[in-house]
Structure 1
Amino acid sequence: MATNLSSPTDVALQQAASAEPLRELFPPIEPYDSGFLKVSDVHTIYWEVSGNPNGKAVVYLHGGPGGGTSPSDRRYFDPATYKIVVFDQRGAGKSTPLACLEENTTWTLIDDIETIRNHLKIDNWVVFGGSWGSTLALSYSITHPDKVKALILRGIFMLRQSELKFFYQDGASHLFPDYWDGYLAPIPPSEHSDLMAAYHRRLTGSDEHEKLACAKAWSKWECATSRLYVDKVNVEKAEKDNFALAFARIECHYFVNKGFFDRDDWILHNIPKIQHIPCFIAQGRYDVVCPARSAYDLKKRWPEAELHIVPDAGHSAKEDGIRSLLVGAAEKFKNL
């Protein structure tokens, strides 16, 4: 099922199949507590808690940014053991105002995580995040290392310019040329030299029709490329107005602002601050949204981290091998 890189010099990556059966998600559960928390004069965020009220706390950080959460996000964790905290980041999901870019940065989201932790009277917790959720999980851990018991990460994304250019300018386009045409469609050829900037002008502009059309094209590109096999149901999600607007506007806002980091390698540069924290990483070999190069670079910088390459997976946490590893990692950290 996966290869564990025990050493940063291990470059063979044999992709040996695991003899262990695939782990499934835990059965659906409902929150036992939820609410809305005002975190600024502008933003109110939705939060919920499920599982064991007296259990070990874990916080789920969703992707995007702007992707929001879903009921299935609770199901990676044993509800008998874990106190499961899920929330929608600023402007996403049930949080309000929807798709709002004001006071919406990596650092305000980190502050929100701490606000939620304090509101729920949690001392420290396991932090779980994939894609942009991995960016936020790493950034939060670097900023508040004493609050993090362990990290469970998937589809590593460090918001470096090389990663953004591969997916939004030239790279993944060579693998999904049919869907790339749809991504190019709203942008005149004269602006193709900087597609993120072209999208940003429209997603923050005053033409509401053009804004929505661009939001759907941007979102469809990511939804189409996020799995090893294109999932038409996932692609159709990009046609939902509210989802597309929040997803595209907030992602583009973060990306043109370089994640609000003061250097391109901010996460890698600060890894020594969190090297003592147990870290598990599941990475799809054929992830084109967040290519394996980033997970591998992180592993080289952080030899103690446990990296598993899933040989038959793309980006999505819902793919069998990745899902199984994430559930297994949560089981592994039960005894921390």
Structure 2
Amino acid sequence: MLGVGDGHAIWFGQYGNPDGTPLLFLHGGPGSGCSPRHPGLFDASRFRIVMFDQRGCGRSNPRGALAANTTADLVADIERLRQHLGVNRWLVSGGSWGSTLALAWGAHHRDACLGMVLRGIFLARRSDIDWFFDGAGALQPAAHTRLASCVPGKKRLAERVCDAVLGAGHGHALEVVRHWMQWEESLTRGQPAALPQLDAASAARALDKYRVQAHYLRHDCFQPEDEWQHQAAGLAGLPIRLLHGRRDRICRPEAALALHEHLPGSRLLWVDEAGHDPFEPAMQAALHEAFAAFS
């Protein structure tokens, strides 16, 4: 655990080769935390793999906390962790929200970045958020209708969902979270998913996770609409590889293309047999190949 101020302490772990090239992994969400499977995405013989649960996530304390929890706070935490571990420069990998956070950190700390491999690009634009909650509705209409029916109203569906999850009513918030989980899983799999049944402990974890996610999405991830373009300009020339599954229904391929076009020197690889899940065999193979160039 590492105390980072504001009442927060973040969990971090190191894996692989202590003498290998340092590699920072940034998990998605926001709110998800790291999985025991994540170190397996990288070659443990070549890399010193560092990962941490972001504020309010996973094993970090206090779990689900929203105060002093913004993108700028997470960027500062990455720097605290890098200095704590005595790492001069490291590679950075992140997928989905992790790619957003990687760009935000790299734009402020380019000199500490050896390069990046980013997957499932998410640029935190209002249109990206609205695609997930509404634009993709026709892809899984039944699950989308059930989610929307939980939060009737005239606001954007993203706002209605996030307001409900962040609201005071525990029972209603949990109902919305369960339908949010069903919607996300249906999109990820490309077929209808069952409504999750959660025991008390699982329900508490899910509420904390999705409260953090709602907090970020409700505030457009604490970034101006075009911030990603300024970040990309600041990273021009660094070795950056972008991987995006052609079957990704969570984050549109258009975002990967837009980032590639604004990031001089980047390389974009379309992964034909992959969607949003990093553990799909085709995406795992693409990640290993992309990182092989850095080792």
1:251 aligns with 2:216: no
Amino acid across the alignment from 1:172: A
Separation in 1, partners of 2:267, 2:281: 19
Superposition pairs of residues 2-81 of structure 1, within 5 angstroms: 36-81=1-46
Task: Between 123-132 and 159-168, report the one with greater CA deviation.
Answer: 159-168
In 2, Cα distance between the equivalents of 1:52 and 1:246? Answer: 33
Q: 1:231 to 1:197 in 2, by over 3 A?
A: closer
- Equivalent in the alignment of 2:290: 329
User: Of 165, 170, 181, which residue of structure 2 is paired with 1:208?
Assistant: 170
Q: Which amino acid aligns with 1:122?
A: V
* Cα distance in 1, alignment partners of residues 277 and 167 from structure 2: 31
The answer as to whether partners of 2:237 and 2:264 remain within 8 angstroms in 1 is no
User: Post-superposition shift, 1:230?
Assistant: 6.2
3-state SS of the aligned residue for 1:308? strand
- Cα contact 2:245–2:253 (8 A) shared by 1: yes
CA contact (8 A) 1:219 1:247 kept: no
Bigger drift between 101-110 and 235-244 goes to 235-244
Task: Give, in angstroms, the shift of residue 229 of structure 1.
Answer: 5.7
For 1:42 and 1:308, locate their aligned partners in 2 and report how far apart those are by CA, in whole Å: 41
1:273-288 correspondence runs (5 A): 273-288=234-249
Structure 2: how far apart are the matches of 1:222 and 1:42? Answer: 31
CA distance in 1, matches of 2:191, 2:282: 14
Give the structure 2 partner of residue 14 of structure 1. Answer: none
Contact in 2 for aligned 1:127/1:151 (Cα 8 Å): yes
Note if 1:187 corresponds to 2:151. yes
Q: Which residue of 1 aligns with 2:260?
A: 299
Point out the more displaced range, 315-324 or 82-91. 315-324
Q: How far, CA to CA, are the matches of 2:74 and 2:92 in structure 1?
A: 14
2:131 to 143, 166, 180: 166
Letter in 2 for 1:103: A
Q: Over aligned residue pairs, what C-alpha RMSD do you find?
A: 1.9
Q: What are the within-5 Å matches in structure 2 for residues 50-199 of structure 1?
A: 50-169=15-134, 171-188=135-152, 191-199=153-161
Is the partner of 1:314 in helix, strand or coil? Answer: coil
- Once the two structures are TM-superposed, the CA of residue 236 in structure 1 deviates from its matched residue by 4.6
Most deviating of 138-147 and 322-331: 322-331
Q: Secondary structure at the match of 1:86?
A: strand
Looking at structure 2, the residues matched to 192 and 333 of structure 1 have their Cα atoms a distance apart, in angstroms, of 49
Q: 1:238 to 1:136 in 2, by over 3 A?
A: farther
Q: Show the counterpart of 2:203.
A: 241
Distance 1:237 1:160, change over 3 A: farther
Letter in 1 for 2:140: F
Equivalenced residues, count? 293
Quick one: which amino acid aligns to residue 202 of structure 1? A
Question: What residue in structure 1 maps to residue 229 of structure 2?
Answer: 268
Is the Cα contact below 8 Å between 2:166 and 2:214 reproduced in 1?
no
Helix, strand or coil for the counterpart of 2:293?
helix
Asked if 2 retains the 8 angstrom alpha-carbon contact of 1:76 and 1:330, the reply is no
Instruction: Please give the alpha-carbon distance, in whole angstroms, between the structure 2 residues aligned to 1:280 and 1:214.
Output: 36
Partner Cα distance (1:140, 1:322) in 2: 24
Aligned to 1:11: none
1:185 CA displacement: 3.2
Q: Quote the Cα distance in structure 2 between the aligned partners of 1:52 and 1:132.
A: 26
Tell me which protein shows more helix as a share of its residues. Answer: 2
TM-score where L is the length of structure 1: 0.82
Contact 1:220 1:238 in 2 (8 A): no
**Does the 8 Å CA contact 1:69/1:87 hold for their aligned counterparts?**
yes
1:142 partner letter: A
Unaligned runs of 5+ in 1: 1-35
